[in-house]
Amino acid sequence: MNRRRFTTHLAAGIAGFSIGGRFRETALSAAPSLRVEGDRINRHLTELSAFGRNSYGGVSRVAYSEFDRQGRAWAMDVMREAGLTVQVDAAGNIFGRRAGRNAALKPIVFGSHIDSVPDGGNYDGDVGVLSSIEVARTFREKGVTTRHPIEVVIFSNEEGGTVGSRAMVGDLTEKDLDLVAASGKTWRDGMRFLGGDPTRLTAPLKRKGDYAAYVELHIEQGGTLEEDGINIGVVEGIVGIGRWEMVVDGFSNHAGTTPMNKRKDALLAASKFIQMVNRVVTAEPGRQVGTVGKIAVVPNAPNVIPGKVTATLEIRDLDGAKIQRLGNRCIDEAKKIGAENGTTFSFTQTHNLKPAIMTRSVQQAIEASAKSIGLTTKYLPSGAGHDAQHVSEITPTGMIFCPSVGGISHSPKEFTKPQDVANGANVLLQTILALDAQ
Amino acid sequence: MNRRRFTTHLAAGIAGFSIGGRFRETALSAAPSLRVEGDRINRHLTELSAFGRNSYGGVSRVAYSEFDRQGRAWAMDVMREAGLTVQVDAAGNIFGRRAGRNAALKPIVFGSHIDSVPDGGNYDGDVGVLSSIEVARTFREKGVTTRHPIEVVIFSNEEGGTVGSRAMVGDLTEKDLDLVAASGKTWRDGMRFLGGDPTRLTAPLKRKGDYAAYVELHIEQGGTLEEDGINIGVVEGIVGIGRWEMVVDGFSNHAGTTPMNKRKDALLAASKFIQMVNRVVTAEPGRQVGTVGKIAVVPNAPNVIPGKVTATLEIRDLDGAKIQRLGNRCIDEAKKIGAENGTTFSFTQTHNLKPAIMTRSVQQAIEASAKSIGLTTKYLPSGAGHDAQHVSEITPTGMIFCPSVGGISHSPKEFTKPQDVANGANVLLQTILALDAQ
């Protein structure tokens, strides 16, 4: 099916013929109607799911594990089948490159990751990588050669803290390399295990100007698109994360002999705190979220009044100032809660990740590309961290979301419908063409 | 100092002279003025504290440990010095016996325990045991022979679940004996380690009618006596304990991508539950207490919405019906809390220990004895469990409390002033004499 509804910039992007003689060339006027083979992506998703599959469902292909290495080897084969030239960088990131028509231009990069959380699903990361390979393969099969070189990237150890992309932009310290990943290996040993060379990470691997653009397709991981019946999310930015470690000091005493009005129950105070966080975070308009996800009680016995509680507070939003303002309000209100029952709250901020705003022109290219193929779109933030947030430090960057059924992620129940995967890949393809024309 | 203010029953209790020729006898008219050597008890408390003393403070003389064995050996020596004949029963309980004037009478028993919780203090149990030995020694040194035989008892493994006293009255099953104590030994192996013979526990060691009475002196472990400036607590009964295990099922999801109004946060629901318990338990008059002391969250990560929480609910009171009524109210209200955010609560009752009411005549003897030596008294419940609650199944039983500084117990900071220890021992002495006269 040839669709002739060109947008201005897409039309610009396909003016003229490829100058490379290596591949069979399709009339470039057909580029707007270019589509991936959705079935092939979904078949590849199933094939990749075999590496680290759990007998009880889901996948545990944690970074630097044997399953990770096997999955990567399989993915590199799929890259080569798609005509890409494969290289592994010092951080273990995989790049599959195809030359463009203009050797003077910097590459347009697109991809994601294929490592998983323990007991994770088969869409987080995988959809972006396999769609990116499919886009490159479609270009090759349909004889389309872009002006820019293209590079499909598989970042290493995304789930352990976007390690590969941080390493690429020079955001890791020597000390970071000694951190231990879910596989049990240090980041340093893990990178070596994947064929990298961590001794080369003393300088950034890539700098501003090295790339023309970066685009990442990913599942939403939230439920907004599915609930609103929208095909494609255009990511405005990746939220910042403020995280605090909280300690509530009360007094541990015998739960039988201590009257109710004489207690300094740290868990009772922490409970009031958890409710207050919920109230403060939802009290004002916006998409900010606040979570108390981790808690430990001392001594944690049925017959002893809790003397001490440690817990985490995490707040995320696209606006870094709002994160700090809400965090400070929670800390202020905690002091009042403590005063009510003789407990004391103390806080240490452990994370202050700045929001990463996506490049406006890339957002517009994504929206126009989706609309050009008849898909509905919605602008939204990414509540999860992604490699894109680090790559955005060195190049214009955008992210495409496709719907997650039930908003479920990091779970064996994670699922994105095959048509939605194909839609995402087609938007990625058209976005790359649009950026290539700029 | 001879005090001549006899009460009727004390006068009755000392009518006549000892018929035993072994000890030097004091004129029995001096019995109301009989006093222990408080300094000796407090010196013995210090000596006993050496067994299992922690370098960082407090004591860890957990039942069936090597420190427990050493402490018991030391205590048996002190018993022998006090003229008592020592025996260990099948459950590892130690009895130090002294004959009375009338061989046809059943023994009056008094004592407590000397095992501690991990990181405990030096007063819980120890005060009762060392005061009891001192009372027996005072009788001997002052030439007083009671009508009834007397037995000082050191119950084994009180802190692990009043194991020794339960074994004595036939309240343990074969399965119980396989439970593992804080020392790492099963109860069965622990009893053997202490010189007991668990194979003999198929029948009760003692039955109704075997004893004339049981009296236990213990630290209050709460702060009521100290706050009210009262010398002696007369225990009305030992509270019953209702304990429930609670499970809150929510839905675990990404804390960045899941909007606040789409969450099924099990910890948020559990927090509301904890506050509700506090409200329900304090809403009506009385001395009931309710505690959520233990909690576990799954998956317990800062960036994941808690999907599951398990926690304990414990309610104690002297009125068993009230415990069940308050427990049921908490369970009812929990369902409403769950409905608010799509979580579900389920409960399993794991404990239903009946309250043990102390014998009225023994309570009166304790009160009269305290008043006879010029001490103030207050009736109060015991919020903690004690060996007395099991012994009360087979014989008239009473408990004497002396003040705990700050109400602190099961802690290295546990403390009872030397004078309060001596006061407790003197009330015990006079109570034994009073009961001996009945």
Which residues of chain B are within 8 Å of residue A268 when distances are taken between CB atoms? 274-275, 278, 292
Q: Compute chain B's Rg from CA coordinates.
A: 24
pLDDT value, residue A397: 98
Closest approach of chain A CAs to the CA of B438, in angstroms? Answer: 32
Residue B22 has pLDDT above 50, yes or no: no
Q: Say yes or no for a CB contact (<8 Å) between B221 and A289.
A: no
Candidates B239, B257, B274; nearest CB to A409: B257
d(CA B3, CA B11) in angstroms, rounded, equals 12
**Per mean pLDDT, which range of A26-40, B47-61, B418-432 is the poorest?**
A26-40
Q: Quickly list H helices, B49-109.
A: 66-81
Q: Are A74 and A402 in contact (CB under 8 A)?
A: no
How is chain B split into domains, by residue range? 8-239+355-437, 240-353
Please state which of the four CATH numbers 3.40.50.620, 2.60.120.1310, 3.30.70.360, 3.40.50.720 is assigned to the domain occupying A240-353.
3.30.70.360
Predicted confidence band of residue B30 (pLDDT cuts 50, 70, 90): low
Buried b (16+ CB within 10 A) or exposed e, B157-185: bbbbbbbbbbbbbbebeeebbeeebbbeb
What's the residue count for chain B?
Answer: 438
Which residues of chain B are within 8 Å of residue A293 when distances are taken between CB atoms? 255, 267, 297, 300-306
CATH number of B8-239+355-437: 3.40.630.10
pLDDT value, residue A101: 96
Q: Compute chain A's Rg from CA coordinates.
A: 24
Predicted confidence band of residue B31 (pLDDT cuts 50, 70, 90): confident
pLDDT value, residue A68: 98
pLDDT value, residue A9: 36
Task: With H, G, I as helix, E, B as strand and everything else as coil, classify residue B436.
Answer: helix
Q: Are B247 and B262 in contact (CB under 8 A)?
A: no
Q: Are A434 and A369 in contact (CB under 8 A)?
A: yes
- Tell me which chain B residue has its CA closest to the CA of residue A241: B256
Cα dihedral A390, A394, A395, A398, rounded to 10, equals 10
d(CA A44, CA B254) in angstroms, rounded, equals 25
Query: Running DSSP on this structure, what letter comes out for residue B32?
Result: G
Number of cross-chain residue pairs from A and B with Cβ atoms under 8 Å apart: 188
Which residues of chain B are within 8 Å of residue A314 when distances are taken between CB atoms? 255, 302-303
d(CA A177, CA A68) in angstroms, rounded, equals 18
Q: Say yes or no for a CB contact (<8 Å) between B407 and A290.
A: no
pLDDT value, residue A11: 36
Candidates A257, A290, A297; nearest CB to B383: A257
Which residues of chain B are within 8 Å of residue A261 when distances are taken between CB atoms? 282
Q: Say yes or no for a CB contact (<8 Å) between A222 and B259.
A: yes
Average pLDDT, chain B: 92
Residue B1 has pLDDT above 50, yes or no: no
Helix %, strand %, coil % of chain B (to 5): 35, 20, 40
Q: Are B414 and B121 in contact (CB under 8 A)?
A: yes
Indicate which of B119, B257, B258 best probes the interface with A, i.e. most A CBs within 10 Å of its own CB.
B257
Q: Say yes or no for a CB contact (<8 Å) between B383 and A278.
A: no
Q: Are B242 and B314 in contact (CB under 8 A)?
A: yes
Query: Running DSSP on this structure, what letter comes out for residue B251?
Result: B
pLDDT (average), residues B259-267: 95
Which residues of chain B are within 8 Å of residue A289 when distances are taken between CB atoms? 255-256, 258-260
Closest approach of chain B CAs to the CA of A314, in angstroms? Answer: 7
Strands B232-238 and B397-402: antiparallel
Closest approach of chain A CAs to the CA of B218, in angstroms? Answer: 13
Q: Say yes or no for a CB contact (<8 Å) between A293 and B287.
A: no
Q: Say yes or no for a CB contact (<8 Å) between A383 and B303.
A: no
Closest approach of chain A CAs to the CA of B299, in angstroms? Answer: 8
Residues 6+ apart with CB under 8 A from A429: A34, A35, A36, A135, A138, A139
Which residues of chain B are within 8 Å of residue A241 when distances are taken between CB atoms? 256
Closest CA to B223 of A193, A195, A264, A157: A264
Which residues of chain A are within 8 Å of residue B383 when distances are taken between CB atoms? 254-258
pLDDT (average), residues B158-186: 95
- Tell me which chain A residue has its CA closest to the CA of residue B317: A256
Candidates A252, A254, A278; nearest CB to B221: A254
Which residues of chain B are within 8 Å of residue A259 when distances are taken between CB atoms? 222-224, 287, 289
Q: Quick check: ipTM above 0.85?
A: no
Q: Say yes or no for a CB contact (<8 Å) between B297 and A300.
A: no
d(CA B202, CA B187) in angstroms, rounded, equals 14
Q: Say yes or no for a CB contact (<8 Å) between A268 and B253.
A: no
The residues that bridge with A94 in the sheet, in sequence order, are: A88, A154
Tokens coding B404: 């705990």
Whether the full predicted model's pTM is greater than 0.90, yes or no, is: no
d(CA B370, CA B225) in angstroms, rounded, equals 14
Q: Say yes or no for a CB contact (<8 Å) between B295 and A295.
A: yes
Closest approach of chain A CAs to the CA of B61, in angstroms? Answer: 18
Indicate which of A220, A235, A254 best probes the interface with B, i.e. most B CBs within 10 Å of its own CB.
A254
CATH superfamily of A8-239+356-437: Zn peptidases (3.40.630.10)
Condensed to tens digits (0 to 9), the pLDDT of residues B332-361 reads 999 999 999 999 999 999 989 899 999 999
Indicate which of A124, A159, A239, A291 best probes the interface with B, i.e. most B CBs within 10 Å of its own CB.
A291
438 residues of chain A, pLDDT tens digit each: 333 333 333 333 333 333 333 444 443 555 889 999 999 999 999 999 999 999 988 999 999 999 999 999 999 999 999 999 999 999 999 999 999 999 999 999 999 999 999 889 999 999 999 999 999 999 999 999 999 999 999 999 999 999 999 999 999 999 999 999 999 999 999 999 999 999 999 999 999 999 999 999 999 999 999 999 999 999 999 999 999 999 999 999 889 989 999 999 999 999 999 999 999 999 999 999 999 999 999 999 998 999 999 999 999 999 999 999 999 999 999 999 999 999 999 999 998 989 999 999 999 999 999 999 999 999 999 999 999 999 999 999 999 999 999 998 888 999 999 999 999 999 999 999 999 998
Which residues of chain A are within 8 Å of residue B159 when distances are taken between CB atoms? none
Q: Is the dihedral of CA B75, B76, B80, B84 positive or negative?
A: positive
